[in-house]
Amino acid sequence: MIDDTTTEQERYKRLRWQCRRGMKELDQLLTRYLDGHYAAASANDKAAFHALLELSDPELVGYLLQRREPGSEIIARGIDIILGPNQA
């Protein structure tokens, strides 16, 4: 949980750490979004990104490779923002 006393830099460092996964490809996808788009994202997109970070690696890979269909709208939105224009 991130409280109001946490600085933006601390929040960013925490999110960056959460983007470090067991797979290099996941690391790259998540950190590319964090570095390039997160700061300007809407509150809804930020919430979707946070929801993705709570998923296990196998779940996340299944969604990103479009082998599984997300069961919730927030996860589906998170997948959309991560894949962005790179979607197949």
Helices (H), 1-88: 8-18, 24-36, 43-53, 57-64, 73-83
**Which pTM was predicted?**
0.84
The answer on pLDDT for 86 being more than 60 is no
For 24-52, the pLDDT digits (tens) are: 999 999 999 999 999 999 999 999 999 99
**Cα 68 from chain centroid?**
17
3-state class (DSSP) for residue 7: coil
> What is the domain partition of the chain in residue ranges?
48-88
Q: Mean pLDDT across the stretch 49-65?
A: 94
The answer on pLDDT for 87 being more than 50 is no
The answer on pLDDT for 75 being more than 60 is yes
pLDDT computed for residue 51 by the predictor:
97
